[in-house]
Amino acid sequence: MPPFSTGFKTMQHLRSHNAFVRQVSATAGLGLSCSAIRFSSSSESQAPHLKLPFQRIFAQISKDEDTGARSGAKMVKAKAFKVHKVGGPEVLQWEDVEVGEPGEGQVRIRQTAVGLNFIDIYFREGIYTHPTPFTPGMEAVGVVTAVGPGLTGRQVGDRVAYAGILGAYAEERLVAADRVVPVPSNIDDITAAAALLKAGTAQFLLRRLGKVERGVKILVHAAAGGVGSLLCQWGNALGATVIGVVSTEAKAAQAKEDGAHHVLIQSEGDFAEKVKEITNGEGVDIVYDSVGKDTLQQSLECLRRRGLMVCFGQSSGLPDPIPLGALAKKSLFLTRPSLMDYTSTRDELLECAGEVFTALAAGIIKVRVNQTYQLAQAAQAQKDLKERKTTGSTVLIVDSAEKTTGMA
């Protein structure tokens, strides 16, 4: 029996989201004007060779990753991973760094836990590119240790989290204050580090892009993975019929527990055929495909007339181009969305984080942190993720935080 029924109680929880989100937004506001949000186009011109059009998304990376090393600035010693040359896990170098005082609009964070994401592998391998050296990692939680001049709304000691800002594989770092969100006291650091990017992705895919509700049929690839597990849980709670695709029996069992009504094992034949059988030949309303190369063509076959193909990742490699004719056959919609484009304003970010934290607190979703590693073991963690050995979410514990806070 899936733990997340589509019952009335759950839907009531969901309806209370908006009120809660408004409350979170009000208390989380920062004394920053919109002009403090820096989406500079200068870094686009620094990286004209990007293989994927992600320059805009990561336009603020170069600045945020800046360690603040200025003459006269007080420096804090820390450890961080650096990538000097893209390649295998061995290119992750654990180095001493110095982090300076936060500049205008920034805070310095002593991190306690870092979320591992497949995107970390894309950057390390050079599928998404960034000038080297860079510090990988997109998601973490920690405590504010310094605030930039004139900044209001954030103070030393605040527990904050962020998602989508390169440079997370570090003990301490600078980050734009308008991209961090306060972490409610009922959410622990490990959950928060695993949640913001992955559950934030599930939130925008289901609640904003897809408008999933009772009666909608969805197909979720990598249904036992970090994002996939949350898509199954949240999709079920919203009333959808959820069909998951996974690679092993063990992963199938987890996806079922997470609320997938049907689970298909990829190696056991043509999943499009099975989807048609399950849906009486009609097909699903939405496919959430994060696998890419190995699945996208077949995923299109799973859609009903006027269905929505959401290609949001490529863990098996970049998919082949889709000719317009392939969409014309059933008047399909195709999108390649990114969390960054759905949380690009402060209001959108707070709404997304608010819904994620509410859903966690209400038990609508739970983040399965099935693996933890010390941050210094990030190379092994990435290797395991890439080799499909992980399930649910993985968190990298910051060794120094463990010593000072007793975090397990």
Ligand X SMILES: NC(=O)c1ccc[n+]([C@@H]2O[C@H](COP(=O)([O-])OP(=O)(O)OC[C@H]3O[C@@H](n4cnc5c(N)ncnc54)[C@H](OP(=O)(O)O)[C@@H]3O)[C@@H](O)[C@H]2O)c1
**Footprint of ligand X (CB under 6 A):** 117-119, 197-198, 201, 222, 224-228, 246-247, 251, 266, 290-291, 294, 312-316, 337-339, 385-386, 388, 390
CB of 218 to ligand X, least distance (A): 15
**4 vs 54, beta carbon nearer ligand X:** 54
> Residue 31 CA to chain centroid, in angstroms?
26
Q: Could you tell me if 252 and 279 are in contact, meaning their C-beta atoms sit under 8 angstroms apart?
A: no
As a whole number of Å, the end-to-end CA separation of the chain is 31
**37 vs 127, beta carbon nearer ligand X:** 127
CB atoms within 10 A of CB 372: 18
**96 vs 268, beta carbon nearer ligand X:** 268
CB of 71 to ligand X, least distance (A): 39
CB of 196 to ligand X, least distance (A): 11
CB of 104 to ligand X, least distance (A): 28
C-alpha distances out from residue 140 to 66, 192, 207, 348, Å: 17, 8, 23, 19
Q: Is 285 helix (H, G, I), strand (E, B) or coil?
A: strand
Q: What is the dihedral of CA 374, 174, 122, 130, to 10 degrees?
A: -140
Element (H, E) at 369: strand 369-374
CB of 86 to ligand X, least distance (A): 17
CB of 257 to ligand X, least distance (A): 14
CB of 310 to ligand X, least distance (A): 9
Q: Could you tell me if 216 and 241 are in contact, meaning their C-beta atoms sit under 8 angstroms apart?
A: yes
**247 vs 400, beta carbon nearer ligand X:** 247
Query: Cis (ω within 30 of 0) for the bond into 133?
Result: yes
Q: Rounded to an integer, what distance in angstroms lies between the CA atom of residue 313 and that of residue 321?
A: 14
> Residue 381 CA to chain centroid, in angstroms?
16
CB of 336 to ligand X, least distance (A): 8
Q: Rounded to an integer, what distance in angstroms lies between the CA atom of residue 396 and that of residue 295?
A: 29
**276 vs 386, beta carbon nearer ligand X:** 386
**332 vs 340, beta carbon nearer ligand X:** 340
> Residue 138 CA to chain centroid, in angstroms?
8
Q: Could you tell me if 287 and 218 are in contact, meaning their C-beta atoms sit under 8 angstroms apart?
A: yes
CB of 286 to ligand X, least distance (A): 15
Catalogue the E-assigned strands of 214-330.
217-221, 241-246, 262-265, 284-289, 303-311
For helices 189-203 and 346-361, give the axis angle rounded to 10 degrees.
120
Strand partners, 141: 113, 161
Helix segments in 159-295, DSSP class H: 189-203, 226-237, 249-257, 271-278
CB of 1 to ligand X, least distance (A): 22
> Could you identify the residue written with the tokens 């870092």?
114
Q: Rounded to an integer, what distance in angstroms lies between the CA atom of residue 238 and that of residue 206?
A: 9
